[in-house]
Amino acid sequence: MKQTNGIVFYNVNIHCETEVINGYIRTNNKTIMEIGQGDPHLGEGEYAIDGNGHHIIPGFIDTHIHGAAGADVMDGEEAALRTIAESLPAEGTTSFLATTITQSKEAIDQALNTVANYPIKNQGAELLGIHLEGPFINIEKAGAQPSEYVIPPSIEQFKHWQNVSNGRIRVITLAPEMDKQEDFISFLVKSGVIVSAGHTNASMAEIKHSVKKGVSQLTHLCNAMTAIHHRDVGAVGAGLLLEELVCELIVDGLHVSPDMVNLIYQQVGPDRLILITDSVEAKGMPPGTYSLGGQIVTTDGEKALLSNGTLAGSVLKMIDAAKNMQQMTTATIDDVAKMAAINPAKQLGLFDHKGSISEGKDADFLLVDEHFNLIYTICRGSIAYKREEY
């Protein structure tokens, strides 16, 4: 569809930061220009869409995604990043962090350099930067990360990778107990990088200590970390108890059981949870064999497994994570929007222009029904996805 002077959605329930407005939302092909009640007066060249009483919510921000649609971040190719970006609006994701995996230094170099040189385009989801998952993890909790490439924390190695990426590393997952010199986490925090504890064998005491040094997040809560025990509640218990920690959560019903998701939601609440997919290139593809950072992954369309049966990321779509969260807990539409958009935007320091529906912010938003069935995805003012019957 050719767009001229912007899009106006009317007859919609707009979920703003502090209220829900029944009315219209106007964009200028980039930003949200106006939110108003009632019916709009259309300007010349504006394209009007009747929302049929459905809901406008902020576009989802997936801060932990390895791949989709047959493409992997570790392919180290611009075409792979483009494939991922252009596939994500169909699941309600309007921006994302390209996530690496523990691999050889050369493979990580290539992946980071590709992101650094990825051209900014107004097509698909926006690539916000990099989530470096590993290789500074605990080999005992490697999970689907190739253990042969795990290395000790190194400031010099990180400096090299941040330079290769042109400063685009926004989040790093590491095992805090491996910071034996007590300088790595502090350096990362001073460099402006979000430090997330993951693939970790840390005790509660070690997590508390790392929080004092600047760790502010847990990577895929419950997965590849110390579980709750009555003598030491471990990293999972730290996520439930420490208000300083924001927690990623994979809500596919496999990585974390529905009952545990509900328990986490009741204990932690929507203010400290971030919905992620941790998806791999098998997402959106037929059952078969695919890759995750050079490893063979098999999917049946519902889960992705290594040859030894280990869960290897997911094939979860963000819109399904939203539906699952609504079904497994008492979360409202606004609660889900907080976990899938507001919280990641705040965590990344982007809330001034992303993450919520507000005049002047990027026009990244979704039209959904009350059950999170996706109808439209708008990325920076452009229609990036539209359900066929509309």
Residue type, 85: A
| Distance from C-alpha of 315 to C-alpha of 304, rounded to nearest angstrom | 7
d(CA 100, CA 35): 38
Question: What is the secondary structure of 143-195 as a DSSP string?
Answer: TTS-GGG-----HHHHHHHHHHTTS-EEEEEE-GGG-TTS-HHHHHHHTTPEE
Is 388 within 8 Å of 128 (Cβ atoms)?
no
Side-chain-facing half-sphere of 317: CA atoms under 13 Å: 18
Clarify whether 300 is annotated catalytic. Answer: no
**249 phi/psi in degrees, rounded to 5:** -145, 130
* Active-site residue (options: 75, 278, 320, 364): 278
The string of DSSP letters for 207-275 reads HHHHHHHT--EESSTTSSB----SS--HHHHHHHH-TT-EEEEE-SSSSS-HHHHHHHHHHH-GGGEEE
Residues with a known catalytic role: 278
